[in-house]
Amino acid sequence: MKRENLVLLVVLVLLALVPVAAEATGQASWVRLVGQALIYGMAAASLNFILGYGGMVSFGHAAFFGIGGYVVGILYHHFDAGTAFLGVIPGTDQMLITLPAAIIIAGLAAALVGALSLRTGGVQFIMITLAFAQMFFFLFISLKTYGGEDGIMVRRTNSLPGLDMKDRATLYWVVLGFAAAYYLFLRRLVNSSFGQIIAGIRQNERRMAAMGISTYRYKLYAFILSGMGAGLAGALMVNFLRFASPDMMHWTRSGELMVMVILGGVGTLAGPFIGAGALFTLETTLARYTEHWMLPVGILLLIVVLATKGGLMALITRLGGKK
């Protein structure tokens, strides 16, 4: 644990220096690239909690990512227009309000989806989560008030007291702080009794039920927590890009999150963040040479999965001398 904490501290320091290095080298795009990778890493880590630790293969996780983003976009839209959502809820641009609201709304959506989909399993569970995600996708496309398929522009990043959120470096450090806090939260959750029960359900659900544990209830709680994490990531992404779009909850986005988890390492805490960083780096590098960059990315993904037997995190662990 001491070694892990030391490595985590070193990684945080290096990530915190990204804006400084970007300014020194004139590579301003680094801040945008790493910031997006951190946010997508959070979304992938939330999926990994139910996939890697709970054995629940959700192919509609991007729905909660998009819902969290739209909460920020809709609240800002009403704040900018001076109106109230549904004539009752006033708009706001305060991050201390929009982020908790995004987490809560995404959690409620996850509770609805999970309550129905978790009564099934296997392929049925995958297809139901995918169907719900597509329903949310077409729902937000139909909301012409909020831009429809064109999405919502957020002209200013949400405000935080005492911080200049217009500064790109400051916003990046806020994102890094949330990513670090979410990583520590997941580590505590996985190592808690709740996390051990979720892992036990993944290994043998019938045996856990025979022990008197309500497996459905625990799986639903895990699904809700996972959806809340994705909602937080979506809210941060809209603040970072200042734009919310239905594409955030399309099934292809769920596929990207799945690729990040598999590439980094299923059932590992740092794996999704590593997978997100690796995927963004590959995409940015290969896009310079060909518009068909997804083909070499797919080939590299196959090589990593088959050769490392556990993703990039497994490779890093072996190089570090651990079995």
- Looking from the CA of 156 toward its CB, the CA atoms found within 13 Å total 13
d(CA 154, CA 243) in angstroms, rounded, equals: 5
101 pLDDT more than 60: yes
Residue 1: band (very low, low, confident or very high) from pLDDT cuts 50, 70, 90: low
**Residue-averaged pLDDT of the chain:** 90
Question: Looking at residue 86, what is its pLDDT?
Answer: 84
Question: Looking at residue 192, what is its pLDDT?
Answer: 94
**In the structure encoding, which two tokens stand for residue 88, read together?**
């009752």
Q: Strand runs (DSSP E) across 146-289, as ranges? A: 152-153, 243-244
Residue range 32-57, pLDDT digits in tens: 999 999 999 999 999 999 999 999 99
CB 168 within 8 A of CB 19: yes
242 pLDDT more than 80: yes
Residue range 144-168, pLDDT digits in tens: 989 888 899 998 999 999 898 989 9
31 pLDDT more than 60: yes
**197 Cα distance to chain centroid:** 23
Residue range 51-61, pLDDT digits in tens: 999 999 999 99
d(CA 199, CA 197) in angstroms, rounded, equals: 5
Question: Looking at residue 193, what is its pLDDT?
Answer: 94
Q: Please give the model's pTM, rounded to 2 decimal places.
A: 0.93
Residues forming beta bridges with residue 131, ordered by sequence position: none
218 pLDDT more than 60: yes
